Structure 1
């Protein structure tokens, strides 16, 4: 009886250790996470329009009626401002840190006047910006980033072919730029 209990206990401990090793080693072997795919799209601080391939499905919604753009950014030195203006039927933005954790999201229905105007900064930068109250940030939404690097996914709806040009202009003109404020 004691041998049976010892065998069961050894098996359970071994299974727990094996599962823990697998869970902890997964990030090491996974080099195609969403942040890595976003970085591969091109240079940082620029929205890159995704095509209708697998990358769009993995970084976007997979919806054929959506056009998607992605921008990687770093708030290590300066805050980053996201801005987009245009007459599209619907848009949404989601901001993620480098670990692909969503830190903020919104759409045109929840924004001020239907315009995208977001300032992303770390805690120290946000405190300095709030203290200085720079001109032109009165309608901006301030988002605190816990990590220095991240990415933003901007989506817009294209319900008909006639909306494609305006949607691509909206995404192509969208800004993801460092600000003059540290």
Structure 2
């Protein structure tokens, strides 16, 4: 009986210690999610190149030598955000995430219209207003509804050889991530 009581007591103390360790470690890991690291990169509503040393500085990093990556954080609370990019790169892809790092949309140059990137991220209410108003400037944009106001977009392009690097960086550098008018 004494052994059983000792085993139960040891198990309860061990469980309590484990729970305390988990609770005290949450603040350490909570600021390391992808959205927080993307926010750290720089100013919102603008694509910023991600380098391979970004994780040392507290931001995102890209260690794939054949890909160049840019990230943009956005907020659609007041206005929708339009993502666009044009250029002659061998391949590009984009993934849009909400602030909880859930992917809400992705596509690449093979699935886009004419190989161009033109996406409008909006709230469901804004999407309804855009469809009603039939905004001509946004008529060819892909409309993506975001249930959360904040998020980030990751734009990647392939650099199969060093000769493609300049065009890839120009493509990412000229990509836009700006608030769009509703009218």
Deviation at 1:8, TM superposition (A): 4.8
Q: Which residue of 2 aligns with 1:51?
A: 51
Look up the SS of the partner of 1:29 in the other structure: helix
Shift in alpha-carbon separation, 1:3–1:132, aligned structure 2, 3 A: farther
Q: Which residue of 2 aligns with 1:136?
A: 137
Q: CA RMSD in A?
A: 2.7
Shift in alpha-carbon separation, 1:25–1:117, aligned structure 2, 3 A: farther
Is contact 1:50–1:68 with CA below 8 Å preserved after alignment?
A: yes
Q: Which residue of 2 aligns with 1:88?
A: 89
Look up the SS of the partner of 2:73 in the other structure: strand
Deviation at 1:2, TM superposition (A): 10
Look up the SS of the partner of 2:151 in the other structure: strand
Q: Which residue of 2 aligns with 1:174?
A: 175
TM-score, length-scaled by structure 1: 0.85
Deviation at 1:39, TM superposition (A): 1.2
Is contact 1:60–1:155 with CA below 8 Å preserved after alignment?
A: no
Deviation at 1:17, TM superposition (A): 9.6
* Equivalences for residues 31-110 of structure 1 within 5 A: 31-55=31-55, 59=60, 62-110=63-111
Q: Does 1:28 align with 2:27?
A: yes
Is contact 2:50–2:62 with CA below 8 Å preserved after alignment?
A: no
The one-character-per-residue Cα deviations of 1:92-111 (angstroms, maximum 9, x if unpaired) are 11111111111111111111
Q: Separation in 2 of the partners of 1:132 and 1:13?
A: 63
Is contact 2:52–2:62 with CA below 8 Å preserved after alignment?
A: no
Q: Which residue of 2 aligns with 1:165?
A: 166
Q: Separation in 1 of the partners of 2:144 and 2:20?
A: 34
Deviation at 1:136, TM superposition (A): 2.4
| Paired residue total | 180
Q: Which runs of no fewer than 5 residues in structure 1 stay unpaired?
A: none
Deviation at 1:87, TM superposition (A): 0.3
Look up the SS of the partner of 2:51 in the other structure: coil
